[in-house]
Structure 1
Amino acid sequence: MKDFCEVLEQLYKKVLLGATLENDSQEYVFYLNPVSLDRDDSTATSSECSHTLGFRDKCQPSSVNWATTSVAPVCLKRCAQTSSAREILLLQLTVTKVMLTRILSETEFHAKEKYREIIQILLKSSDLDSKLTGMFQNSDKLLSHMAAKCLALLLYFQLKEKITLSNSWVAFCHKNLSEYSESDKIVYCLWTLAVVIKEIFKDTRSQKTEILKQFLTPFDSIFEVFYDSLFSQRFENCRDTTKIVNTLICFLELLELLIASRIHLASQFTCQRILFLKPSCVLDVITWPAQAFVKRKFIIFIKKCLLCKVGEDLCRGSVPAFTPPDCHLNVDMLALADAVLQAVDLGLLRTLSVRGKPSRFGGGEVPPGSEPVPVPDHVILRAASLLVIKSLEIKFQNCASANEMKVDLQKFMSELLTFLEPHLQPSPLSHDPCEWLCRVFLEQDDDMVEAAKATVGIYLRLTREREAIESLTQGKEKWDHHTHENGYNPHCIFLYFLKNVGFDATVLLDFLISSETCFLEYFVRYLKLLQKDWDKFFTICKSFDVTESNDSINICGCVSSLVQDRSSSQTEPSPWAARGSHRNACASASWPSDASSEPPNQVVMSKETQATLQADGQSLPQASQSLVDYDSSDDSEVESKDPCSANSKQTSLYQEAMKKIQDTVGISKNKKELSPELQSRPLVPKESNNPFSVDCDIVPNNTDSKMGTAYRTVKCFEELQGAIHRLQKKNLFPYNPTALIKLLKQTEAMYNKTVNPL
């Protein structure tokens, strides 16, 4: 037995290095033929093991004369010492798996051909599939897992070599997937099938369509049977909930891969559409009394289906250059969206638990003597929000009635905002309903952009239908109230996004050149909308300015505490931190007809100065820096270490910024001069130890429109144009931005025409 293990050790070492094997292939097959364990006993004696293996001295191939080595893995040395059947079997499976991996990867041609020949002989000479599936029920989890990994690679090898899958494997799948049972065989069967599909996706040189079709053909009908059987279970009636949870997770991964296979293979099989044909089965799992992570996985899975991002974390292979059109896709997406909305209407969100654990450095457990602070699970909040907003967009694309869309939007958005309100403090409903989107998706850029794009789609669809049945003036004001009160006004949402990033053009540039979000598509659609809705956008910008003015006046009584807080944190408060009258301002404004070009007349000077400084590219000392600073110099680290030099540089920045403010006002159309009071009052009082202070005594009677939200937005677009142009000149921009720059210039022209009508 010691010689047997040493031979396997040598074979393992050679295959691991991808070395060419010199001996006859039949001799290697002799050592790789798996052991059949008659009982679950990992301490079998050497004689018992020899008998089980059928190993005899006279049966040993005479030509095998490999030198032993003193360098071997610890597990292999233990195998040689104990001579246990379990260790030998694990070693056989490991060598077989590594050999298959070598065949499927970049390996020297002659070595790969030898490995291929050995595996082909092994498949023909022994019922290898049956031996491996027989290990699935073994109580030794390591052994079962290794058998499943080895079998998955063997199946993929057969598919690539155009070898027909063995009848024993197909029969095993049909038997175990015909109905749900609390057996480990089902879990390993599902897991093996999923691994095979992953291997198909990973291979960039094979014909994925033909291989997928060959693989799915024998299992198409049985997947639907198992789908119905699994989701018809009553979770609370299961004897072992752990087993059904494991089965759910494994089948969910397989289901995601089956749906993702539609990218490479047009929907020819029922198993690729089973979720869309019977979506309520999967949605019901969210209401089961299962663990929170199970519900989270299912919600995220449905979200990815609605966003057409299924399999992006599982399929690492390339997408084919030409994908045949999927004639069932639109129908399937509409069926899933309708099912989601129906579940929400029946109270899905009201029964969804969003309790999460606070994250702490070193672990999530609450220290002794302290009470846990309840925090919402923002992953669930984001996924549930996208379920609603994306389902509405998909449904409205196929809905012809404007009144029906308006009723559905009001009903489901009200349900969503009611669901979110307890988990967002302070509540956006008391400030501005449109703020919910940035609040929920603040930490997830890709989902935030998807949600914002969906709101634009909903707004455009409803606007077109409304204009088709109403006159140009009838009901416009009521319509604008509807978009705002239900939290889907695209202009509010975009402005909140810009406020969250500090009107920083470099952040927009990051989004535009990144492939991790669909920001380019969203941004272009919004800029096109902006051309049509400019008057509404400008009115909303003025309401934002009024809100900031009122918020500034409201906090004048607590200047000292605010200054103290700023000096300690050195960050600006969140845009939603102060409760304001934005909602009332938007509601009281006459949206279509009363859009005056006059700017708001009460803005605190500190806000005015701050807005202009940010618009001109200057950063206030207390303001947070840009998220990405492409122009940061190598001296930034030195400056941060030397407070004296930092303070002197801030002072110079203030002097330069004040000059820019004076220049801006001096060259304006109206030739307005700064009031003597403002000119005589220093920006930074000498007595103050803080780099910036809020002075609420000065409230100008009028404010230049260039210091408001609209100006800061257009200034951000202008800086974005310059950044894109510089990158384009150096051939560093990833695509042709001509159309994008044209839209940005049109926006700038509309702004100039609005503030300077003559």
Structure 2
Amino acid sequence: MLTIVSRWSAQSRRMLIFQKVHLACCKDRLLSHLAAKSVSSYVIYELRCFNTVNQIWEWKCLQVLQNPCSGNALDACTWSLTTVLKAVLKETSQYKPGTLEKLLATFDTALTAVYSQLVPVESLGHGNSASYPSSNTADWATTLTNLLDLLEVLTAARFKLSTTRVCFTSSRLSLVQASALLRIVDSHVHYFVKKQVLLLLKRILLQKAGEDMGFGEASSLTHGDDHMTSDILTLADDVLQAVHTDWLQCVPVESAAIFFGGTGQLCGGSSDAFDHVMLRAVSLVVLKSLEYKIQSAGGKGVCNTIGIHGYLSALLLFLSQRGVQLKQGSHSCCWVSLVFGEQDDDMMEAAKALLLLYLHHRVSSDLEADAACVVGGNPHCHFLFLLRSISFDHSILLDFLISTETCFLEYFVRYLKHLRDDWEGFRTVCQKIDGSDRCKLSWKISQKDNQLLDNLREELQQSLCLSRGSVSTWSHSGGSVTIVDPEPAPCLQPSLCLPSGSATALASTPPPRLVDYGSSEESETEDGDLPSGLTQDRLHSDSVVHTHNSHSFDRTVMCLTELRVVVTRLQRRSLFPYNATSLLKLLTQIEAKRSCSQR
């Protein structure tokens, strides 16, 4: 179609674009959107082939932006401008140098004015909801959605141009005027708009603006234009000030929709029924704001308000009020796994931020590990819960190390240094968590499940006889299951933990495989505290020695040892994607710590 139009005379092309632009401003939403798509395609074509901005399209967009009013004209204009900027950002090499700068310079002043008119103007504060100049919240929801998409593209363009030191006012709006975006969350607009605001702030703080739009990896915030550092600190300050004024109490978290784009809601009050995307976004916005704050000038001023613990306490209170319920007796630090368990990249970002916060606070205020656990901020606990969630499988850690989709390498190296320097602290954490687990080893089992337990016990005894030549005895009395080990064995004994209500499920599934018969050097055990039930995991029986160390401590060291062996082998064969010498040195130091502790 564009090829045919390009053969027309210049006058015919101008008339066609003029008609399309006029249709884009009509009241019929479908017709308006189709016309905007058509005009945008032609504008992109002219930019790519002739390096010129269509004058009719430019004139109409500036006219609408200078007199913004919620409606199809404004929506079509912002959508079209966003589409054109996206096209240039995605395929920069197909456009002449300076094309992006030319577009941004043309609309910079108008976009800055539109932003100040479309966002709420009332002050933040619990109970002071922001208002809009229109009573039609549906129209404003569409308008704000288009504006937020445009803001993300503008921010991504700033990251793209950071190496050129070119910075436009409109591309700074989402950072220097983030307080206005935060007010949207406390306004009378649809839930999905509030969610989009928090996702935008999250992507900016994670340096991933435009990532979902296919713009590629953004430049580092620390290597941007002259205003980048101060702007990101302004954003962090706005977020922390909002949290300090109870803004979190205004953030809604609805039940998750049961299908894409639907309005149906999950029933029940479990934490799985709540919108974990929203919970992750809020958590990361707060954590990353704290991280940037403490990294600036040594973090002066953070502890002068309510302190790091105060912010973490406010975040935990928000999560508990929005459906993240810790089971009775569970450790406070497991909130990270509960909130981020479905998203590896977000989990690593949260773990890294919490580690940096802990290290900063420990140096500045001599923080104790127990105090950190109260607000769920102990990095030893986070790492242990991460290993338990993957069944202490070193191959999964290897996948994380090789993957470029998470910040695991940076987090892992930082944590290993902390583990090396606080070895006894990690041992204490393992002992406390294992001690808490042992208190949960007995659950009430109904009388009708006795036969199931007897059958399962016999199969387990047979498996253990075949693998070690000795049998651990099991007793069942009073409706509960206990483990009786008459004498210590040379390796860790498999254990069975049955959560309440799981006995019936076991009846329809085969019992878990506790021994790998394909190898005489490997056995499997499961971790009874994992929510997934009976989880298998591999341990080398000739390497595990019973000491005063806890079960989790031994398995952690074994997992790290296996990881070192695999990485060393790959490094020797030049199959590892980067130089892992520093990483291997840290892992070797961890093994040396273990050897010293056994003497």
The residue type equivalent to 1:387 in the other structure is V
Q: In structure 2, what is the Cα distance between the partners aligned to 1:488 and 1:229?
A: 40
The structure-2 alpha-carbon separation of the partners of 1:257 and 1:208, relative to structure 1 and needing over 3 Å to count, comes to farther
* Aligned twin of 2:109: 221
* Aligned twin of 2:592: 749
TM-fit CA distance, 1:735: 2.0
TM-score normalised over the length of structure 1: 0.63
Q: In structure 1, what is the Cα distance between the partners aligned to 2:400 and 2:181?
A: 34
The residue type equivalent to 2:41 in the other structure is L
1:522 aligns with 2:411: yes
* Aligned twin of 1:447: 346
The structure-2 alpha-carbon separation of the partners of 1:206 and 1:456, relative to structure 1 and needing over 3 Å to count, comes to same
TM-fit CA distance, 1:426: 4.5
The residue type equivalent to 1:156 in the other structure is I
Q: In structure 1, what is the Cα distance between the partners aligned to 2:45 and 2:377?
A: 51
Q: In structure 2, what is the Cα distance between the partners aligned to 1:610 and 1:379?
A: 46
Spell out, residue by residue over 1:694-752, the C-alpha distance to the aligned partner (whole angstroms, 9 max, x if none): xxxxxxxx962456222111100111123323444554432222221221111111111
The partner residue of 1:256 within 136, 144, 152 is 152
Q: In structure 2, what is the Cα distance between the partners aligned to 1:503 and 1:607?
A: 27
Contact (CA 8 Å) 2:23, 2:31: kept in 1 or not?
yes
The residue type equivalent to 1:229 in the other structure is Q
Q: In structure 1, what is the Cα distance between the partners aligned to 2:449 and 2:422?
A: 37
The residue type equivalent to 2:113 in the other structure is V
1:536 aligns with 2:536: no
Which secondary structure does the structure 1 equivalent of 2:211 belong to?
A: coil
Contact (CA 8 Å) 1:201, 1:208: kept in 2 or not?
no
Which secondary structure does the structure 2 equivalent of 1:205 belong to?
A: helix
* Aligned twin of 2:241: 342
The structure-2 alpha-carbon separation of the partners of 1:248 and 1:734, relative to structure 1 and needing over 3 Å to count, comes to same
TM-fit CA distance, 1:547: 2.1
Contact (CA 8 Å) 1:421, 1:429: kept in 2 or not?
no
The residue type equivalent to 2:387 in the other structure is L
Contact (CA 8 Å) 1:721, 1:744: kept in 2 or not?
yes
Contact (CA 8 Å) 2:120, 2:132: kept in 1 or not?
no
* Aligned twin of 2:505: none
Q: In structure 1, what is the Cα distance between the partners aligned to 2:490 and 2:440?
A: 15
Which secondary structure does the structure 2 equivalent of 1:268 belong to?
A: coil
Spell out, residue by residue over 1:529-560, the C-alpha distance to the aligned partner (whole angstroms, 9 max, x if none): 212112212222222232223333xx266598
* Aligned twin of 1:148: 36
* RMSD of Structure 2 on Structure 1 (CA): 4.2
TM-fit CA distance, 1:174: 2.0
TM-fit CA distance, 1:296: 1.0
TM-fit CA distance, 1:605: 5.8
1:286 aligns with 2:174: no
Q: In structure 1, what is the Cα distance between the partners aligned to 2:285 and 2:395?
A: 31
Aligned ranges 1:51-450 → 2 under 5 Å: 95-96=1-2, 99=3, 118=7, 121-122=9-10, 126-206=14-94, 210-232=98-120, 235=131, 238-266=134-162, 267-316=166-215, 325-357=224-256, 359=258, 365=264, 375-398=273-296, 400=298, 404-405=302-303, 407-424=306-323, 426-427=325-326, 431-450=330-349
Q: In structure 2, what is the Cα distance between the partners aligned to 1:140 and 1:204?
A: 34
TM-fit CA distance, 1:482: 2.7
Which secondary structure does the structure 1 equivalent of 2:159 belong to?
A: coil
Contact (CA 8 Å) 2:167, 2:225: kept in 1 or not?
no
Spell out, residue by residue over 1:124-177, the C-alpha distance to the aligned partner (whole angstroms, 9 max, x if none): 763444222111123444443332122212222332344442443332122211
Contact (CA 8 Å) 1:187, 1:246: kept in 2 or not?
yes
5+ residue gaps, structure 1:
1-94, 100-114, 467-475, 571-602, 624-641, 662-690, 693-701
- Which has the higher mean CA deviation after the structures are superposed, 443-452 or 349-358? 349-358
Q: In structure 2, what is the Cα distance between the partners aligned to 1:548 and 1:460?
A: 27
* Aligned twin of 2:553: 710
The structure-2 alpha-carbon separation of the partners of 1:216 and 1:148, relative to structure 1 and needing over 3 Å to count, comes to same
TM-score normalised over the length of structure 2: 0.78
Q: In structure 2, what is the Cα distance between the partners aligned to 1:612 and 1:304?
A: 47
* Aligned twin of 1:719: 562
The structure-2 alpha-carbon separation of the partners of 1:129 and 1:651, relative to structure 1 and needing over 3 Å to count, comes to closer
1:499 aligns with 2:395: no
Contact (CA 8 Å) 1:187, 1:247: kept in 2 or not?
yes
Q: In structure 2, what is the Cα distance between the partners aligned to 1:538 and 1:429?
A: 23
* Aligned twin of 2:478: none
TM-fit CA distance, 1:190: 0.5
- Which has the higher mean CA deviation after the structures are superposed, 256-265 or 204-213? 204-213
The structure-2 alpha-carbon separation of the partners of 1:650 and 1:537, relative to structure 1 and needing over 3 Å to count, comes to closer
Q: In structure 1, what is the Cα distance between the partners aligned to 2:405 and 2:289?
A: 22
Q: In structure 2, what is the Cα distance between the partners aligned to 1:613 and 1:165?
A: 71
Spell out, residue by residue over 1:81-111, the C-alpha distance to the aligned partner (whole angstroms, 9 max, x if none): xxxxxxxxxxxxxx23xx3xxxxxxxxxxxx
TM-fit CA distance, 1:241: 1.9
Contact (CA 8 Å) 2:27, 2:72: kept in 1 or not?
no
Q: In structure 1, what is the Cα distance between the partners aligned to 2:448 and 2:347?
A: 33
The residue type equivalent to 1:409 in the other structure is I
Q: In structure 2, what is the Cα distance between the partners aligned to 1:152 and 1:221?
A: 21
Which secondary structure does the structure 1 equivalent of 2:160 belong to?
A: coil
Number of equivalent positions:
536
Contact (CA 8 Å) 1:155, 1:196: kept in 2 or not?
yes
Spell out, residue by residue over 1:592-612, the C-alpha distance to the aligned partner (whole angstroms, 9 max, x if none): xxxxxxxxxxx9667999995
* Aligned twin of 2:364: 465
The structure-2 alpha-carbon separation of the partners of 1:481 and 1:242, relative to structure 1 and needing over 3 Å to count, comes to same
Contact (CA 8 Å) 1:435, 1:496: kept in 2 or not?
yes
The structure-2 alpha-carbon separation of the partners of 1:224 and 1:486, relative to structure 1 and needing over 3 Å to count, comes to same
The structure-2 alpha-carbon separation of the partners of 1:373 and 1:488, relative to structure 1 and needing over 3 Å to count, comes to closer
The structure-2 alpha-carbon separation of the partners of 1:141 and 1:290, relative to structure 1 and needing over 3 Å to count, comes to closer
Spell out, residue by residue over 1:294-323, the C-alpha distance to the aligned partner (whole angstroms, 9 max, x if none): 111111111111111111001345768999
The structure-2 alpha-carbon separation of the partners of 1:568 and 1:487, relative to structure 1 and needing over 3 Å to count, comes to farther
- Which has the higher mean CA deviation after the structures are superposed, 604-613 or 137-146? 604-613
1:548 aligns with 2:548: no
* Aligned twin of 1:736: 579
5+ residue gaps, structure 2:
122-129, 458-481, 499-508, 526-533, 536-544
The residue type equivalent to 1:347 in the other structure is D
Contact (CA 8 Å) 1:436, 1:487: kept in 2 or not?
yes
Q: In structure 2, what is the Cα distance between the partners aligned to 1:530 and 1:188?
A: 55
* Aligned twin of 2:528: none
Which secondary structure does the structure 2 equivalent of 1:135 belong to?
A: helix
Q: In structure 2, what is the Cα distance between the partners aligned to 1:713 and 1:565?
A: 33
Aligned ranges 1:563-582 → 2 under 5 Å: none
The structure-2 alpha-carbon separation of the partners of 1:502 and 1:728, relative to structure 1 and needing over 3 Å to count, comes to same
Q: In structure 2, what is the Cα distance between the partners aligned to 1:343 and 1:378?
A: 21
Contact (CA 8 Å) 1:610, 1:620: kept in 2 or not?
no
Contact (CA 8 Å) 2:112, 2:169: kept in 1 or not?
yes
Which secondary structure does the structure 2 equivalent of 1:355 belong to?
A: coil
The structure-2 alpha-carbon separation of the partners of 1:465 and 1:324, relative to structure 1 and needing over 3 Å to count, comes to closer
Q: In structure 2, what is the Cα distance between the partners aligned to 1:610 and 1:334?
A: 57
The residue type equivalent to 1:734 in the other structure is P
The residue type equivalent to 1:169 in the other structure is W
The residue type equivalent to 1:248 in the other structure is L
Q: In structure 1, what is the Cα distance between the partners aligned to 2:153 and 2:343?
A: 24
The structure-2 alpha-carbon separation of the partners of 1:533 and 1:136, relative to structure 1 and needing over 3 Å to count, comes to same
